[in-house]
Amino acid sequence: MASVIEFSKLSYQHPGAAAPVIQGLSLQIEAGSFVAVVGGSGVGKSTLLRAAAGLTEPTSGDVRFQAQPRPGRRTRAVVFQDSRLMPWRTVGGNVGYGLEGLGLDREEKSQRIASALQLTDMADYGRRWPHQLSGGQAQRVGIARALAVKPDLLLMDEPFSAVDAITRRNLQQELIRVWQASGAAVLFVTHDIEEAVFLADKVVVLGGHPANIVGSYDIGLPRPRDRGAAAFAAQVAAIAHTLEHH
């Protein structure tokens, strides 16, 4: 299968830091697949995601985008940990942000906004202001904003870590549905192993100083996944074991 993005021998060192955060990391993400990256805090998960988003230039190595730019779409889109909605735009205006400058006419734009909101179950909220939303709703809008540009790669930086446990489970379930409907590949960063196993086709474990990939697990569990199943628990335990020993 074709890959959408390829990191090769990626290293990153903060300006002025003594040692690199990440050194020599290589990873490919296949089109349409769901890859979760787990690791402790400060291990460079977010750096990896920011490099993929084009928000950080790697110190050495490179990030190659294989996906072809297509008219009316963006190759990648980001869902941030904080929903990062612009408070001065309505929900619909926020979802349309990435569509501006893509050469879409008004009709197409509102069509795309409506269907992104529909997909994330926020269809009735287009005219609300962000401050009127709960944390979980704001995060759905953040996802809708990313989906609206029809990306080949969806980059998600611990998107559910700031919402309560029940909302988080809901959002995780819905993310699977939304991902399958969109056909995009997902790079999902999290510190929650259970979340990674529940969501991903492949879980990549980051560890060490400087960080690199210390384990990679293909999750073969059938969907929808059952968190109570023994196989699920075994998978989580195996990844936790790898994490603890690096």
Residues that bind other proteins (CB under 8 A): 53-55, 74, 77-78, 80, 82, 84, 86-90, 97-98, 100-102, 129-132, 145, 149
Q: How many CB atoms lie within 10 A of CB 144?
A: 29
C-alpha distances out from residue 78 to 24, 46, 124, 165, 194, Å: 24, 12, 23, 22, 22
**126 neighbors 113 (Cβ within 8 angstroms):** yes
Q: How far is the CB of 149 from other proteins (least distance, A)?
A: 7
Choice between 67 and 219, CB closer to other proteins? 67
C-beta of 127 vs 209, nearer to other proteins:
127
Q: How far is the CB of 82 from other proteins (least distance, A)?
A: 7
What 3-state DSSP class applies to 82? coil
CB 179 within 8 A of CB 171: no
**Interatomic CA distance for residues 132 and 193, integer angstroms:** 32
Work out how close the CB of 75 gets to other proteins at its nearest, in angstroms, rounded to a whole number: 10
- Bridge partners of residue 134, in order along the sequence: none
Residues in the chain: 246
Comparing CA positions, the residue from 139, 150, 218, 215 lying closest to residue 181 is 150
Residue 78 vs 204, nearer CB to other proteins: 78
Rounded to the nearest whole angstrom, what is the least distance from the CB of residue 105 to other proteins in the complex?
A: 18
Q: How far apart are CA 45 and CA 154, in angstroms?
A: 15
Q: Which is nearer to other proteins, 157 or 201 (CB)?
A: 157
Question: Please, which residue, 44 or 130, has the CB nearer to other proteins?
Answer: 130
Of the two residues 89 and 202, which places its CB atom closer to other proteins in the complex? 89
Q: Which helix (H) or strand (E) covers residue 236, if one does? A: helix 230-244
Provide the 8-state DSSP code for 160.
T
Q: How far is the CB of 76 from other proteins (least distance, A)?
A: 8
> Between 32 and 93, whose beta carbon lies closer to other proteins?
93
Q: How far apart are CB 125 and other proteins at their closest, in Å?
A: 14
Closest separation between CB of residue 60 and other proteins, Å? 22
| Closest alpha carbon to 151 in 189, 123, 112, 121 | 112
